[in-house]
Amino acid sequence: MVRPVRAEDRDWIRRFITERWSAEVVAVHGVIYRPHELPGFVAEQAGKPVGLLTYQLAGDACEIITLDSTRPGMGVGTALIEAVREAARAAGCRRLWLVTTNDNLEALRFYQKRGFVLAAVHRNAVAAARRLKPEISRTGAHGIPIRDEIELELLLD
């Protein structure tokens, strides 16, 4: 089941994001986000949270800020994407987009399989994010140096 974030979820979100992202904040494209303050969706199984997606609306675009699942390969992420896609459409958005880093091969695969396309590569952008959030590792998945932000988008009909 996927449901909108509720006020009583905020403390759990703060802990969950800190556990998964090394801090309670996320730094992307030069901006600090506090996911526990953003709108979002929680995926639950047997009454327990197993996934979270947070987002931000701006004009006719909806940006996914975080997407995490504790049960990879079980459809949690896909269900969260579908929920935010519907919320974005209902808000009049024409574009759903996000940023990931160059080392995050699993995310690149995941999003492209769900219709997202590469929209831009921001070379060396992680250096600016690291100034805002020093906890960002220099090396990521598969030993790949984390340097670039990759923007993906899905145009909504």
For the chain, the structural domain boundaries read 2-155
The three-point CA angle 105-77-65 to 5° equals 75
Region 12-41 average pLDDT: 92
Please choose, from the candidates 67, 93, 91, 64, the residue with its C-alpha nearest in 3D space to the C-alpha of residue 78: 67
Residue 95: its pLDDT value, please? 98
**How many other C-beta atoms are found inside a 10 Å radius of the C-beta of residue 49?**
17
For the chain, give the mean pLDDT.
95
Q: How far apart are CA 131 and CA 20, in angstroms?
A: 19
Q: How many residues are given for the chain?
A: 157
Q: Are strands 95-101 and 61-69 parallel, antiparallel or unpaired?
A: parallel
CATH of domain 2-155: 3.40.630.30
pLDDT tens by residue, 117-155 = 999 999 999 999 999 898 899 999 899 999 999 999 999
